[in-house]
Structure 1
């Protein structure tokens, strides 16, 4: 039993580094960002215990440094870095190519018949269907209103 106590007491830089890595691994699985700050505090405490002036890096000093760093970083994380916790996508159309076409102007490359035709948007040709029932001719300009499958829903563009 004494050998086990001698292994873990007093805490060293290696103990704090191990705690930091364990907390970081748990944070990776949870994704809450709360344990991230505590993990960083444990890593900072590892540096403190390794490089602090002898006497200030006693186990009491290490725990005091860890507590202050953890509380400070959690508060900082909850206030200054609060945006990291948001679930909203910064780019709502990322990986959604079809959504990016809405609102863009396309050119008719095959005249519409019965509301069906083909348009060129950028360097890509798309099957298209008019939403207003019109049949624009070749070369006409249309606006993309929506998408369905791999086709575009378009309406005649004003000049």
Structure 2
């Protein structure tokens, strides 16, 4: 085991700054194979340490400390820059169709009996929960529980 690890250390020492550049490129390539936006920051830190090592003769300790500090800074900045809060969508409920229907009004085609019924919206039948209502009643969707819409009569919705 010691022979293999000494070979790697010797190779890294012989390559010098190139070892950091090669390591950084390998990490960036791994990010493409294993996406998750983590390895990209480590790869960039390694590439930066490699480029700095060409200009300044860094000891291995300074290079590793620089890599650790840069990786942490880039990771924190990257997470903040690409966070979910920063990415706004023009269709925030695209995959949550029930939530996208909240506030919309429809006319019941079938009555709601025992608190449950169905409504047709476009070409889709939705399960609805709400007070017992007759067919033809105007309702407003005021909630969603999975694939079930919560409805109230328009008069009770405050309008």
TM-score range, shorter chain: 0.5 to 0.7
Q: Greater strand share, 1 or 2?
A: 1
Going from structure 1 to structure 2, the CA distance change for 1:157 and 1:84 (only over 3 Å counts) comes to: same
**Aligned counterparts of 1:17 and 1:81: Cα–Cα separation in 2:** 23
Instruction: Report what 1:108 is aligned to.
Output: 108
Report deviation, 1:15.
1.4
The unaligned stretches of length 5 or more in structure 1 are: none
Deviations 1:15-53 (A, max 9, x none): 113422565559x97x694x643421212344556xx5x
1:105–1:121 Cα contact (<8 Å) kept: no
Going from structure 1 to structure 2, the CA distance change for 1:76 and 1:57 (only over 3 Å counts) comes to: closer
Instruction: Report what 2:154 is aligned to.
Output: 157
Going from structure 1 to structure 2, the CA distance change for 1:41 and 1:147 (only over 3 Å counts) comes to: closer
Going from structure 1 to structure 2, the CA distance change for 1:85 and 1:66 (only over 3 Å counts) comes to: farther
Count of residue correspondences: 145
**Aligned counterparts of 2:40 and 2:56: Cα–Cα separation in 1:** 23
Instruction: Report what 2:15 is aligned to.
Output: 11
Report deviation, 1:123.
4.4
Instruction: Report what 2:47 is aligned to.
Output: 43
**Aligned counterparts of 1:18 and 1:7: Cα–Cα separation in 2:** 12
**Aligned counterparts of 1:148 and 1:8: Cα–Cα separation in 2:** 57
**Aligned counterparts of 2:77 and 2:146: Cα–Cα separation in 1:** 42
Deviations 1:55-112 (A, max 9, x none): x364x2898677557635633543575354679x978856433343344323312244
Q: What secondary structure does 2:110 align onto?
A: strand
After TM superposition, the runs of 4+ consecutive aligned structure 1 residues lying more than 6 A away are 89-92
Residue 138 of structure 2 corresponds to residue 141 of structure 1: yes
Report deviation, 1:7.
2.8
Q: TM-score, normalised by structure 2?
A: 0.55
The unaligned stretches of length 5 or more in structure 2 are: none
Q: TM-score, normalised by structure 1?
A: 0.55
Instruction: Report what 1:71 is aligned to.
Output: 69
